[in-house]
Amino acid sequence: MVKPGILIISHGSREPGWVSLVDNTVRRCRRWLSKFDVPLEAAFLELVEGRLIQDGIDRLEAQGVTDMLAIPLFISSGSTHVDEIGWALGAYPQCRSETDLTPFRLDVRLTYGRPIDDDPEIAEILGERAASLSSDPARETLLFIGHGSDKPEFREAWRRGLNGLASVVRERGGYADADFAMLRPDLAAEAASALRRRHPEAAVLAVPVFLSEGYFTRHVIPQRLAGLDCRYSGQALMPHPQVARWAARQASDWLHHVYGISDIERK
């Protein structure tokens, strides 16, 4: 007998606020999926005692789960954490990044899900963040700023995801131009200056592409943009309910296509 279950995996933190953000998102996701009666657990990569990835796997298996979808709650496929978690779960034969993880114990059939990348539902959130700064989109440009990676083999995935999100929001919002930048390598100031050169009369709206507000959104990005006359939104993706809907949609699609369980209602 097949019994599916969902494991949502995010980065760990000693900050209670981060754990609360993730838990609230998972609760919303559980409500989206409530009619399926599918076990759903949240787990953390590190630092959250009793709620690590192995703990989440064990809880699902204790509920009789035979098939597990593990959803990485991360911004990009270019995150080394997405790579190391996938390897430790058995989704990849080799880990492309250095890791302290060891393979997890699991007796379920695994499907490793997708991080956010350029998901259109997440683009809706970023569109709202940009709109909160906007007064005349036709005379404004967008700059989406993500964490990025110092490793060339992971950087391209960051580029694809950020570029895709920026392009979608530009088209939907009618902005004059859009670009993206990463903090690793340090390209935010260069990208903002390039937008200014291409559109001297246009305001630059800088939007962080981060899951939560914290050190990078409050300190690093403002420092990188200092003196460049950008309008900056420090708002991150969570606690926007669309993050939960993104995870629920991925879970619903998996249930539908793999097990023939009907999709959640599209609203």
User: Within this chain, do residues 99 and 147 fall inside the same structural domain, yes or no?
Assistant: no
The pLDDT, as a whole number, for residue 233 is 87
Q: What CATH number corresponds to the domain at position 253?
A: 3.40.50.1400
User: Within this chain, do residues 93 and 143 fall inside the same structural domain, yes or no?
Assistant: no
Distance (Å, whole) CA 12 – CA 6: 18
Domain encompassing residue 198 = 120-232
Q: What is the pLDDT of residues 173-213, one digit of tens each?
A: 999 999 999 999 999 999 999 999 999 999 999 999 999 99
Residue 266 in any domain: the answer is: no
Distance (Å, whole) CA 107 – CA 58: 9
Residue 177 in any domain: the answer is: yes
Q: For the whole model, what pTM was predicted?
A: 0.94
Q: What is the pLDDT of residues 90-127, one digit of tens each?
A: 999 999 999 999 999 999 999 999 999 999 999 999 99
Q: 3-state class of 206 per DSSP? A: strand
Residue 45 pairs with which residues in a beta bridge?
A: none
- Calculate the CA 187 to chain-centre distance: 20
Counted domains in the chain: 2
User: Within this chain, do residues 112 and 126 fall inside the same structural domain, yes or no?
Assistant: no
User: Within this chain, do residues 126 and 84 fall inside the same structural domain, yes or no?
Assistant: no
